[in-house]
């Protein structure tokens, strides 16, 4: 008896100029135009945004938990990428 | 001295918005999908907001100290100045979207013209409302397209809805009281731009422009359908049951 | 306990491709990973492997929560057309709209666990999933709108604030948003009752009657007593629940009694009094047989609430189908043009 649902869309909101779009949640809509409008009504009704993206959830490619170790662990030991790795003599500024 | 024609004109705008909001409120929890509950509530809230500022201004024009609530809750249907388009029941989604397309397209052109009025209060209210109503037109347009050009069943149903609303379009363009000509937007001048916009949406939705005779007007003079009395009875009964109470 | 390596369809913000599960079972170290995340008070996220029982328990709880928001639109929606001032009408419309929004946030969180909203809604319509019993009580007078805001939303907030720290990330995030938005709901209810209790004799009587009717059902919103709440211990261990039913109920009572005094309204419990020793208010025995009757479907409005919800869903079927058909047609046209 389960009826077909409208597709799922992920919503990204830019809270104000100068900030990136941030994932806010998801919703169902028959197509992109309606998804954008539903996103406006659902996720910005208290003035939370100045710009919106909607992306069909099925169009997003994401890393999976079983890829977590090879994807992210190798970055953990490259401490020389961070400024705190380096010794700076006392008194040297603007470095 | 009260400028009666300007007061009636303002009440007309206010009552159109108030009665529309009252009908729209019915949809919250009854829309075809939850996302649409949220959307229709937004539209109803915009309309209610317009009604409130306009009624407050009407109270000022009247100079009898009546508030927005006095005007909304303590007038009888013969004193309401809204068009008949907005007062009839609206419990079919096709009817709701047909009516929203017609009404909000009319409101958009009216408020645009009114935002240039020399009456500073009305022009301010209109300028704010233009943004809101632009979104209402957009929402209605998207739905009329989807229902008109959706399934065979929805096409037929949308056509029936449009035909049912059409007789009440003519009243929107009731000519202005001659004393207001230079002051506010004249609805009779909006017939072409409004119908041009509507015709474009109707054609794109693969629907036919209705060929039905206009219904008699009279709403602006307080001559309504039987439906308005019931709408007001429901809206006003609690307020009237406790005379003078604060809420 | 079997650990399910969930890799089904793409749901909610569970971004990813549709890959078949390799063997349906996670390697042994994943059990430890789940336990370690819980121990560190870290969040479980959608694509993490998790015990199947954890996933099922969350789906049931989040769905029930979402259904409650949606059915909760009806008792208050009952007064939108009759709100006694335009200001109150606007507030009420915005509030009922928020409830639809909160239901949507919660359904979205549930969908990250691998269920379709359509299926959850079907389960609500067929009675297989429940919603909060409080919404099976009628709103007979305008004061009931105030009582719902003050007591029912007050109880809901007491329950929900700890859920903002729930172990499941999407649920916790949804609750943060809900709690932020709900802060006005309880206040507007209190304001309605305060205005009524300081108004005419008739208004004050209306307010007292509403509080009399909504007080006990509000206490029942926290669920059965702790000794009688079979799933509580497991939910606590999983970091879904942070406090027991009775702890939360006590917190609500302690918060509400002083507010009732500020309202000038009494709470209908002769045993309600401050206990210096405990540092809490004592309250009388709750008649849980009523709660279980309402849960079974014998409450005052169970049938009406479901008929309203199903009716709207069925009446909207042609609209949803039309939108699908339009989207299909236009997707084909776009492809044809390319």
CB contact under 8 A, B138 and A37: yes
Q: Which pLDDT belongs to residue C134? A: 95
CA distance C158 to C241: 12
The count of residues in chain C is 338
CA distance C186 to C300: 24
Neighbours of B6 (CB within 10 A): 19
**Cβ of C90 under 8 Å from any chain A Cβ?**
no
Shortest Cα–Cα distance, C218 to chain B (Å)? 23
ipTM of this complex prediction, to 2 decimal places: 0.98
State how far the alpha carbon of C182 is from the alpha carbons of A24, B19, C120, C177, in Å.
17, 28, 24, 9
Q: Residue B91, class by beta-carbon neighbours within 10 Å (0-12 exposed, 13-18 middle, 19+ buried)? A: exposed
State how far the alpha carbon of C115 is from the alpha carbons of A5, B143, C46, in Å.
12, 28, 12
Q: Residue C60, class by beta-carbon neighbours within 10 Å (0-12 exposed, 13-18 middle, 19+ buried)? A: middle
Q: Which pLDDT belongs to residue A95? A: 81
Chains with 3+ CB–CB pairs under 8 A to B are A, C
Q: Please report the domains of chain A, with CATH numbers, ordered by start residue.
A: 3-85 (3.10.20.520)
Q: Which pLDDT belongs to residue C22? A: 43
Angle between helix axes B4-25 and C86-111 (nearest 10 degrees) is: 30
State how far the alpha carbon of B152 is from the alpha carbons of B79, B146, C177, in Å.
43, 11, 41
Q: Which pLDDT belongs to residue A3? A: 55
- 3 state DSSP class of A10: strand
Q: What is the DSSP string of C14-50?
A: B-------SSSB--HHHHHHHHHHHHTTPPB-TTS-E
Q: What's the token pair of residue B45? A: 């809230």
Taking contacts as CB-CB distances below 8 angstroms, the residues of chain C near A2 are 116, 118-119, 122
Neighbours of B14 (CB within 10 A): 27
CB contact under 8 A, C203 and B25: no
Shortest Cα–Cα distance, B58 to chain A (Å)? 29
Q: Are C190 and C220 in contact (CB under 8 A)?
A: no
Who wins on pLDDT, B80 or A68?
B80
Taking contacts as CB-CB distances below 8 angstroms, the residues of chain C near A1 are 122, 126
A residues 1-40 lying closer than 8 A (beta carbon) to C? 1-6, 8, 10, 23, 25-28, 30-31, 34
Of B134, B103, B115, B143, give the one whose Cα is nearest residue B21: B103
CB contact under 8 A, C96 and B28: yes
Q: Which of B33, B35, B37, B40 to mutate to test the interface with A (most CBs of A within 10 A)?
A: B35
Q: Which pLDDT belongs to residue C154? A: 96
Who wins on pLDDT, A70 or B129?
B129
Q: CA-based Rg of chain C, rounded to a whole angstrom?
A: 22
Q: Which pLDDT belongs to residue C183? A: 83
Taking contacts as CB-CB distances below 8 angstroms, the residues of chain B near A6 are 33
Which of the 8 DSSP states describes residue C11?
B
The count of residues in chain A is 95
For A8, residues 6+ apart whose C-beta sits below 8 A from its C-beta are A26, A27, A28, A56, A57, A58, C10, C11, C12, C111
CA distance C14 to A64: 9
**Cβ of A64 under 8 Å from any chain C Cβ?**
yes
Among candidates A5, A30, A64 on the partner chain, residue whose Cβ is nearest the Cβ of C116: A5
Neighbours of C252 (CB within 10 A): 21
Which of the 8 DSSP states describes residue C166?
-
**Cβ of A73 under 8 Å from any chain C Cβ?**
no
CA distance A46 to A24: 13
Q: Please report the domains of chain B, with CATH numbers, ordered by start residue.
A: 4-241 (1.20.1260.10)
C residues 135-194 lying closer than 8 A (beta carbon) to B? 142, 192
- 3 state DSSP class of A25: strand
Among candidates B38, B42, B142 on the partner chain, residue whose Cβ is nearest the Cβ of A34: B142
CA distance C136 to C302: 5
Tens-digit pLDDT string for chain C (338 aa): 333 333 333 334 444 333 334 444 444 447 788 888 888 888 999 988 899 999 999 999 999 999 999 999 999 999 999 999 999 999 999 999 999 999 999 999 999 999 999 999 999 999 999 999 999 999 999 999 999 999 999 999 999 999 999 999 999 999 999 999 888 999 999 999 999 999 999 999 999 999 999 999 999 999 999 888 777 888 888 999 899 999 999 999 999 999 999 999 999 999 999 999 999 999 999 999 988 899 888 999 999 999 999 999 999 999 999 999 999 999 887 776 65
- 3 state DSSP class of A9: strand
Tens-digit pLDDT string for chain B (247 aa): 788 999 999 999 999 999 999 999 999 999 999 999 999 999 999 999 999 999 999 999 999 999 999 999 999 999 999 999 999 999 999 999 999 999 999 999 999 999 999 999 999 999 999 999 999 999 999 999 999 999 999 999 999 999 999 999 999 999 999 999 989 999 999 999 999 999 999 999 999 999 999 999 999 999 999 999 999 999 999 999 999 999 9
Taking contacts as CB-CB distances below 8 angstroms, the residues of chain A near B142 are 33-34, 37
Q: Which pLDDT belongs to residue C337? A: 64
- Across chain B, the runs of DSSP E, i.e. the strands, are none
Among candidates B39, B138, B146 on the partner chain, residue whose Cβ is nearest the Cβ of A38: B39
CB contact under 8 A, B39 and A33: no
**Cβ of C314 under 8 Å from any chain A Cβ?**
no
Q: Are A51 and A86 in contact (CB under 8 A)?
A: no
Shortest Cα–Cα distance, B38 to chain A (Å)? 6
CA distance C161 to C176: 8
Taking contacts as CB-CB distances below 8 angstroms, the residues of chain A near B35 are 27-29, 38, 41-42
Shortest Cα–Cα distance, C177 to chain A (Å)? 10
Angle at C157 between CA C155 and CA C161, to 5 degrees: 130
A39 → chain C, closest CA residue: C101
Classify strands C50-51 and A21-28 as parallel, antiparallel or unpaired: unpaired
- 3 state DSSP class of B24: helix
Q: What is the DSSP string of A29-94?
A: -SSHHHHHHHHHHHHSTTS--SEEEEEEGGG-----GGGHHHHHGGGTT-GGGSGGGS---TT---
Q: Which pLDDT belongs to residue C15? A: 42
Q: Which pLDDT belongs to residue C17? A: 37
Of B95, B111, B108, B58, give the one whose Cα is nearest residue B80: B58
Q: What is the dihedral of CA B76, B78, B82, B83, to 10 degrees?
A: 140
CA distance C4 to C213: 45
C74 → chain B, closest CA residue: B29
- 3 state DSSP class of C199: coil
**Cβ of B134 under 8 Å from any chain A Cβ?**
no
Q: Which pLDDT belongs to residue A93? A: 85
Q: Are A27 and C162 in contact (CB under 8 A)?
A: no
Range of weakest confidence among A17-31, A81-95, B113-127: A81-95
CA distance A36 to A57: 14
Percent of chain A predicted with pLDDT > 70: 97
Among candidates B35, B138, B146 on the partner chain, residue whose Cβ is nearest the Cβ of A38: B35
């Amino acid at each position: 008896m389960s009826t077909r649902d409208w597709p799922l869309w992920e919503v990204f909101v830019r809270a104000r100029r100068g900030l990136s779009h941030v994932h806010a949640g998801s919703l169902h809509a028959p197509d992109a135009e309606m998804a954008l409008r539903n996103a406006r009504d659902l996720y910005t009704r208290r003035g939370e945004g100045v710009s919106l993206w909607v992306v069909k959830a099925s169009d997003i490619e994401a890393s999976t938990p079983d890829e977590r170790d090879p994807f992210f662990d190798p970055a953990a030991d490259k401490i020389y990428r961070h400024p705190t790795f380096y010794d700076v003599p006392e008194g040297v500024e603007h470095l | 001295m009260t400028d009666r024609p300007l007061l009636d004109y303002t009440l007309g705008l206010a009552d159109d918005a108030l009665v529309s909001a009252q009908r729209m409120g019915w949809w919250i929890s009854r829309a075809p999908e939850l996302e649409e509950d949220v959307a229709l509530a937004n539209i109803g809230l915009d309309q209610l907001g317009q009604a409130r500022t306009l009624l407050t201004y009407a109270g000022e024009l009247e100079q009898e100290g009546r508030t927005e609530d006095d005007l909304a809750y303590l007038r009888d249907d013969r004193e309401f100045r809204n068009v008949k388009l907005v007062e009839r029941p609206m419990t079919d989604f096709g009817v709701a979207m047909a009516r929203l397309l017609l009404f909000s397209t009319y409101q958009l052109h009216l408020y645009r013209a009114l935002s240039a009025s020399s009456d500073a209060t009305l022009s301010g209210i209109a300028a704010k409302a233009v943004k809101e109503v632009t979104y209402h037109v957009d929402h209605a347009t998207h739905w009329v397209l989807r229902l008109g050009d959706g399934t065979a069943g929805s096409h037929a149903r949308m056509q029936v809805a449009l035909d049912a609303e059409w007789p009440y379009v003519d009243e929107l363009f009731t000519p202005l009281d001659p004393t207001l000509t230079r002051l506010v937007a004249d609805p009779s001048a909006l017939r072409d731009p409004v119908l041009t916009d509507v015709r474009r949406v109707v054609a794109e939705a693969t629907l036919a422009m209705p060929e039905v005779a206009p219904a008699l007007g009279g709403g602006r003079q307080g001559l309504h359908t039987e439906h308005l009395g019931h709408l007001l009875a429901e809206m006003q009964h609690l307020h009237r049951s406790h005379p003078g109470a604060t809420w | 306990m079997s650990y399910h390596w969930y890799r089904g369809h793409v749901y909610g913000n569970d971004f990813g491709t549709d890959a078949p599960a390799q063997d349906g079972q996670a390697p042994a170290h994943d059990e430890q990973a789940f336990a370690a995340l819980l121990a560190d008070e870290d969040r479980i996220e959608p694509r993490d492997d998790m015990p199947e029982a954890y996933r099922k328990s969350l789906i049931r709880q989040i769905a029930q929560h979402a259904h409650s928001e949606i059915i909760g639109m009806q008792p208050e929606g009952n007064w939108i057309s009759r709100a006694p001032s335009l200001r109150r009408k606007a507030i009420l419309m915005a509030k009922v709209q928020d409830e639809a929004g909160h239901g949507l946030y919660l359904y979205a969180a549930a969908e990250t666990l691998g269920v379709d909203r359509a299926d959850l809604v079907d389960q609500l319509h067929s009675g297989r999933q429940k919603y909060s019993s409080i919404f099976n009580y009628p709103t007979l007078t305008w004061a009931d709108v105030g009582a719902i805001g003050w007591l029912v939303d007050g109880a809901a907030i007491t329950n929900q604030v700890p859920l903002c720290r729930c172990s499941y990330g999407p649920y916790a995030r949804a609750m943060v948003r809900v709690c932020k938005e709900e802060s006005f709901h309880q206040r507007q209810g209190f304001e309605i009752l305060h205005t009524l209790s300081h108004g005419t004799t008739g208004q004050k009587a209306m307010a007292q009657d509403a509080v009399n009717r909504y007080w006990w059902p509000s206490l029942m919103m926290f669920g059965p007593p702790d000794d009688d709440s079979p799933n509580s211990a497991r939910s606590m261990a999983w970091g879904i629940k942070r406090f027991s039913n009775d702890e939360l109920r006590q917190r609500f009572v302690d918060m509400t009694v002083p507010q009732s005094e500020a309202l000038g309204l009494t709470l209908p419990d002769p045993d309600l009094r401050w206990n210096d020793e405990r540092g809490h208010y004592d309250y009388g025995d709750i008649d849980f047989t009523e709660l279980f009757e309402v849960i079974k479907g014998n409450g005052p409005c169970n049938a009406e609430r479901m008929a309203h919800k199903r009716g709207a869903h069925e009446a909207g079927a042609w609209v949803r189908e039309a939108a699908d058909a339009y989207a299909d047609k236009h997707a084909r046209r776009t492809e044809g043009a390319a």
